[in-house]
Chain A
């Protein structure tokens, strides 16, 4: 069973290599890419089953024992993240294929897109399975390098501009992360996460705090936590729709995942909980205000994306088993729903020629199907029951209320406000873009949208009046997946809770990687 662990990273890499070699045969390349990701998904699902039934898997790469070699660790949290991200990556791939085939480009941009996409997948998976802090950094580098390429695909002026912001900020965050790794190595003499967790307990708490804050700043940029988040809305929305969908769904969540690990394995005990609560509150409120101010749906979604990162940070800040469990469920929900919405917006762009609600009208009449595919995830994102957005929020609120501190209640209030304003932004877009008739649009402008900010450098795309079927189906599959998160919320929440129990106090993790370690008592 251990062999499954490296396979989840190796499969996409092999796929990428094969895709590079078969660059001149687009159809073969697509087949290779699809099979690599399908297999990776199968492996991830199998891992989830194995880990959930028989405990954490640890693989020592090259046979080098921990702490000297690199270990790959799959516990329930990792397995969950793997399954969700592999599913999303696969569905988005189909969407891309649908788009590419429809565009009639036999060569572009598939020959670049597919291998890069697979390496991105490998990077994401590697970040999840890394049991070694430096290898986590490598995972980040892989996914970031791929994301640079995907973001600037096509090399248009807007994308280059967005790419520069994105790349420079990402490099800064990587630099900070790398510096933190160096400092941790300086203080503890190791990069094995489990061993770091043990040795950090032995160094003075004030130095622990310095390292703790350094790491959080580095991960905070990646996770787009206020005020380290300004880069995101300026970079994500310019990419092609499926790329934005994957970035929005997955990349920030890798940062959140790293924060979860930091707060549970490396620094258990919630030393910075109150600070994180305040950060969560600001992220929630300021982010959603950004969404309210946008006319462009993609940009608006980018703001809701960073706003909702606040929910996850809140769950982490609660620092109880229930809080972290709710955060995990929210992460899963948010990966799915945010991706779905960006895909649906891609369809909107296709039939409407733009994503600005100032220039969209009559979409419901044009395509009721796309209407449904937009409406359901929009409600979901707005936290309307019974969708997963509501359930995640409920879990967070319950955990917060159980904690019962005044600050927790304030963040709950902020979370409720963010939810309402998200709904406002989404339904306003629905009102104008889907409900408003084309005739009315031709006659006069809407009072709702006159003051909204347009995306910079926005160019009207050609519209086709009808979206390719594969794209619509892929989006429908994502919507179905998001509904499954509601239907199977019981087992999923239970799984999140078990994942969170695994993390509690780092004990379980350390014992899995370094059996027999004598642990000092953790102050909780």
Chain B
């Protein structure tokens, strides 16, 4: 069975490849799969019908108890025969149904074959979850098949509708399935049915599963999707929406009835909804003009009927019910295929336009009449046998006087009358010669299309005579149910003049009467408004979902950053605040400060921070922020961490410079202020969060009982890290891994700045004179720099020109490249003189860092500051002269050094970043210990330098250039970052 099942999907996957070559003949090939499957099922008959079962499978996800378990018992056998047999016939019908050279045929064949596989799997699956998997798979393939004509809006809408309705039901069912499996402790349906659990939660689970069945089988209130699904090609209607998919719900009900028919609510749901659906469907069928829609509503009606009889839960009814499932599959597919032939050969399905087909096409009429006879339960068809069986059993049941049984009996009788009426209407509509309607033209598309319907219709009659065999086949299932009022019920063609036969004849007469009065019925129908239009209900609920979604999203996604931050902070305040309020562990005592100097520093920091939020100019805000940073440095210094303080000061300075560079291209004033209410609210929020954090810190510090690990650090640093500067040893050794991470952040930051400013090009160093470019290019580039100096308008001859152009050898480049009013010669000279000393100092800091304040970080920052000074004093070409390497390369080498120090020890079987040491004395520096940590620190140094070069190069030099370029093009005002014109 596994192999057969797999074959469906393998072939489906291969079809698109083959379809191009074979065209419509592809269907003959694909039909082989269901034919093979049919043969396998038939061959299993001896075992299954003798009461045995065939099982096959493997564990799939043992953790979830999800087993790929297949099981073939009587019920599965009947359904599998229907699925594979009709599937094969429908595929054989297809080649003639589609026009030749239709490019979508391959897709269609693939979907239909895969659907057949899913359906085959569904009726074989013994694992609840596996069954659900195939259940949903049928929904998806049905979606693809209904939407086959995807350029038609109706097809797409119907496909989505069918998918959503059946999946909604499916998801509800999934919850039920999960509960049932969890409560039963097994996922095998056979085991669950053998020992059905019970209880309140099981009742809920079973009801949820019924919702799935109801939606799949298009029962009220979900019936609307099935008629809409008629937008699909007719073979799909014949297969999915008559024989197979819609029967999945019926199968589920039949499958679980033996275990759960006595669950509270089961019978009520099954009988009431079933009867209601039968009546609604039949009533609507009488209104239709499209033959396909007529059949679709007829199917809805029949599905209601089937639900009642398969769910009733008594063996007599179930036996007849299963026969009816079989009968329905045969006659309804036939009728759909007949409609397909009519549609294909005449170009219409509208019964108001069809006329006079009956007389001309006896074969077609014969097939249709045989199937219709089965539908209307006229002897000697299988439909008649099954319905007789149902009435016989239900009449016995109704004798008990139980209201539900009465409803079932009389409801089904009423529904059957409607069935007879619309059957008659169908035959009349399709074949009768009507007055005032011209004879419909008819083009024959070959006998090929007749194979399937003829076979099916013939089978429908033949089985009417095979009742003993049917009894034998089907009783394997029905005997698993309690006998109910009728003991030993069986299907017979001729009961004699029993009450059931009377009912059948009554139904026939009444139905024909109804058809006879069709004009009056039709007028009545048009006067009675549809009480509930479920299709409209779907539309309205989907639009409601859309509307609710739009509203909710409009509220949550305001697009305002302050709003998002506000929400986050309020969540923090609400949740953490709540836990603080219920907290009982407050510290017993508190120290206001460690050192009196902390107080003024903190006050200054608070004032500066508050001031920054109130500043109107960007520059003021930045300076005030700087104060908080320097204040922090002071606090570090007071805590005895000169190293941190030094680094903090340098970082703060570099940050300030970067800020100032950026501020040149931003409007001076900060953006517009919002209303005071907002401001007050935000201030309160900010203050509350601040207080909250302080309180939390107080509480958490108060509960500490264990020794902090940092107490060990000085000893560890000295003994194992070879350094007296515990901060540095921590940075480059004990927690070197963190530092490695942080420097990669620096690398990224540098790259990011460059990326934003240069956008297109990352590589390259700061601009240098006479680099890469010819003289002409150089002059062109220099021109805007020197020209705007209006004071020099007479001195054009002073501009670098021709052979006089500066080369890199010039000591003070600014003389050539900066306008005089931008120059300060004293500053240039001082910076130039101090530059090398600063670089030497920075290298000193790098090397002594292990024992004294310093290290790669502060060293790098100092070197960077020196470069910044060069740039600020002499302009961008001065910067280019100071560093001629690509910043990216500096960063890359730095990272390579640091990461290399971490990696190399691995090759020696050591831990990453594990350090090695050499000692020795170096002139001037004295006795030195040199460790691999210093290499690491040098990497840090390079990266910091690289970052600052990138900052200067992009925020400084490149922004200069862009600014000058813009100024040269348009001197009406400063230009904002990202090309936005200032609105000042």
- Which A residues contact B (CB, under 8 angstroms)? 2-3, 6-7, 10, 13-14, 16-21, 23-24, 59-64, 67-70, 72, 107-109, 111-112, 115-116, 119, 122-123, 126, 134-135, 138-139, 141-142, 145-146, 148-149, 152-155, 157, 160, 164-165, 168-169, 172-173, 176, 179, 182-192, 195, 199, 202-204, 206-207, 209-211, 213-214, 217, 221, 227-228, 230-231, 233-234, 286, 289-294, 303, 325, 364, 379, 383-386, 390-391, 394-395, 397-398, 401-402, 404, 412-413, 416-417, 419-421, 423-424, 427-428, 431, 434-437, 439-440, 446, 451-453, 456, 489-490, 493-494, 496-497
Give, as a whole number of angstroms, the nearest-CB distance from A65 to chain B: 9
- Annotate B349-371 by CB proximity to A: 1 below 8 A, 0 otherwise: 00000000000000000000000
Q: Given known contacts A21-B892, A183-B696, A424-B545, is B733 in contact with A206 (CB within 8 Å)?
A: no
- Annotate B53-64 by CB proximity to A: 1 below 8 A, 0 otherwise: 000000111111
> Which among B293-301, B639-647, B894-902 touches the partner chain?
B894-902
Give, as a whole number of angstroms, the nearest-CB distance from B892 to chain A: 3
Q: Given known contacts A115-B747, A188-B704, A189-B707, is B761 in contact with A172 (CB within 8 Å)?
A: no
- Which of B64, B178, B699 contacts A207 (CB under 8 A)? B699
Q: Given known contacts A23-B886, A289-B549, A453-B550, is B734 in contact with A69 (CB within 8 Å)?
A: yes
Ordered nearest first, which 5 A-B pairs have the shortest CB separation? A20-B892, A189-B708, A149-B752, A435-B150, A385-B133
- Annotate B688-705 by CB proximity to A: 1 below 8 A, 0 otherwise: 000001001101110111
B416 on interface, CB distance cutoff 8 Å: no
Q: Can you sample 12 A-B contacts with CB below 8 Å?
A: A62-B737, A115-B751, A122-B741, A154-B759, A183-B697, A189-B704, A210-B580, A214-B696, A230-B567, A234-B564, A427-B164, A434-B150
- Which range holds the interface residue count of chain B? 35 or more
Complex CA distance for A170 and B436, rounded to whole angstroms: 77
Contact check, B552 vs A202: say whether CB atoms are below 8 A apart: no
Q: Is the interface of A mostly helix, strand, loop or mixed?
A: helix
Contact check, B751 vs A379: say whether CB atoms are below 8 A apart: no
Contact check, B164 vs A423: say whether CB atoms are below 8 A apart: yes
Q: Given known contacts A16-B744, A62-B734, is B553 in contact with A23 (CB within 8 Å)?
A: no
B740 on interface, CB distance cutoff 8 Å: yes
Give, as a whole number of angstroms, the nearest-CB distance from B709 to chain A: 5
B124 on interface, CB distance cutoff 8 Å: no
Q: Which residues of B contact A420 (CB under 8 A)?
A: 164, 167-168, 171
Contact check, A23 vs B763: say whether CB atoms are below 8 A apart: yes
* B724-750 residues at the A interface, CB under 8 angstroms: 733-738, 740-742, 744-745, 747-749
Contact check, B546 vs A293: say whether CB atoms are below 8 A apart: yes
Q: Which residues of B contact A217 (CB under 8 A)?
A: 568, 571-572, 575-576
* B174-199 residues at the A interface, CB under 8 angstroms: 174-175, 178-179, 181-183
Q: Which residues of A contact B559 (CB under 8 A)?
A: 234, 456
Q: Which residues of B contact A172 (CB under 8 A)?
A: 565, 568-569
Q: Which residue of B lies closest to A391 (CB)?
A: B61
7 further A-B pairs in the complex, CB-CB below 8 A; given A213-B575, A398-B181:
A16-B744, A62-B913, A123-B741, A138-B745, A154-B759, A227-B556, A416-B175
Contact check, B700 vs A186: say whether CB atoms are below 8 A apart: yes
Contact check, A59 vs B912: say whether CB atoms are below 8 A apart: yes
Contact check, B704 vs A155: say whether CB atoms are below 8 A apart: no
Q: Given known contacts A6-B902, A183-B697, A431-B159, is B151 in contact with A63 (CB within 8 Å)?
A: no
Q: Which residue of B lies closest to A148 (CB)?
A: B752
Q: Which residues of B contact A490 (CB under 8 A)?
A: 59-63
Contact check, A385 vs B132: say whether CB atoms are below 8 A apart: yes
Q: Which residues of B contact A489 (CB under 8 A)?
A: 60-61, 66
Give, as a whole number of angstroms, the nearest-CB distance from B525 to chain A: 29
Q: Which residue of B lies closest to A190 (CB)?
A: B709
Contact check, B709 vs A68: say whether CB atoms are below 8 A apart: yes
B712 on interface, CB distance cutoff 8 Å: yes
Contact check, B889 vs A23: say whether CB atoms are below 8 A apart: yes
Q: Given known contacts A187-B703, A385-B136, is B749 in contact with A145 (CB within 8 Å)?
A: yes
Contact check, B568 vs A169: say whether CB atoms are below 8 A apart: yes
B147 on interface, CB distance cutoff 8 Å: yes
Q: Given known contacts A14-B899, A108-B760, is B696 in contact with A149 (CB within 8 Å)?
A: no
Contact check, A394 vs B911: say whether CB atoms are below 8 A apart: no
Q: Given known contacts A112-B755, A155-B756, A207-B583, is B557 in contact with A199 (CB within 8 Å)?
A: no
- Which of B137, B704, B760 contacts A107 (CB under 8 A)? B760
Q: Which residues of A contact B841 (CB under 8 A)?
A: none
Contact check, A401 vs B756: say whether CB atoms are below 8 A apart: no
Q: Given known contacts A227-B571, A428-B160, A456-B559, is B756 in contact with A152 (CB within 8 Å)?
A: yes
Give, as a whole number of angstroms, the nearest-CB distance from A19 to chain B: 7
Complex CA distance for A188 and B705, rounded to whole angstroms: 7
B826 on interface, CB distance cutoff 8 Å: no
Complex CA distance for A417 and B580, rounded to whole angstroms: 36
- Which of B167, B579, B585 contacts A423 (CB under 8 A)? B167
Contact check, A13 vs B740: say whether CB atoms are below 8 A apart: yes
Q: Which residue of A lies closest to B65 (CB)?
A: A398
Q: Which residue of B lies closest to A440 (CB)?
A: B151
Contact check, B557 vs A142: say whether CB atoms are below 8 A apart: no
B536 on interface, CB distance cutoff 8 Å: no
Q: Which residue of A lies closest to B755 (CB)?
A: A112
B978 on interface, CB distance cutoff 8 Å: yes
B754 on interface, CB distance cutoff 8 Å: yes
Q: Which residues of B contact A435 (CB under 8 A)?
A: 147, 150-151, 156
Contact check, B697 vs A186: say whether CB atoms are below 8 A apart: yes
Contact check, A182 vs B64: say whether CB atoms are below 8 A apart: no
B906 on interface, CB distance cutoff 8 Å: yes
Contact check, B546 vs A292: say whether CB atoms are below 8 A apart: yes
Contact check, B704 vs A187: say whether CB atoms are below 8 A apart: yes
Contact check, A67 vs B709: say whether CB atoms are below 8 A apart: yes
Complex CA distance for A385 and B125, rounded to whole angstroms: 14
Q: Which residues of A contact B575 (CB under 8 A)?
A: 213, 217
Contact check, B136 vs A141: say whether CB atoms are below 8 A apart: no
Q: Which residue of B lies closest to A386 (CB)?
A: B133
Residue of A153, A203, A494 with highest tally of chain B CB at under 10 A: A203
Q: Which residues of B contact A112 (CB under 8 A)?
A: 751, 754-755, 762
Complex CA distance for A410 and B930, rounded to whole angstroms: 64
Give, as a whole number of angstroms, the nearest-CB distance from A313 to chain B: 15
Q: Which residues of A contact B755 (CB under 8 A)?
A: 109, 112, 116, 149, 152-153, 155
- Which of B181, B182, B763 contacts A24 (CB under 8 A)? B763
Contact check, B912 vs A10: say whether CB atoms are below 8 A apart: yes
B637 on interface, CB distance cutoff 8 Å: no
Complex CA distance for A424 and B545, rounded to whole angstroms: 10
Q: Which residues of A contact B418 (CB under 8 A)?
A: none
Q: Which residues of B contact A325 (CB under 8 A)?
A: 63
Contact check, A6 vs B912: say whether CB atoms are below 8 A apart: yes
Complex CA distance for A182 and B734, rounded to whole angstroms: 18
Residue of B66, B707, B762, B900 with highest tally of chain A CB at under 10 A: B762
Contact check, A497 vs B738: say whether CB atoms are below 8 A apart: no
Residue of B564, B572, B749 with highest tally of chain A CB at under 10 A: B564
Complex CA distance for A494 and B752, rounded to whole angstroms: 42
Give, as a whole number of angstroms, the nearest-CB distance from B337 to chain A: 26
Contact check, B147 vs A431: say whether CB atoms are below 8 A apart: yes
Contact check, B133 vs A397: say whether CB atoms are below 8 A apart: no
Give, as a whole number of angstroms, the nearest-CB distance from A349 to chain B: 21
Give, as a whole number of angstroms, the nearest-CB distance from B574 to chain A: 10
Contact check, B556 vs A141: say whether CB atoms are below 8 A apart: no
- Which of B583, B705, B712, B902 contacts A10 (CB under 8 A)? B902
Q: Which residues of B contact A423 (CB under 8 A)?
A: 163-164, 167
- Which of B179, B545, B546 contacts A401 (CB under 8 A)? B179
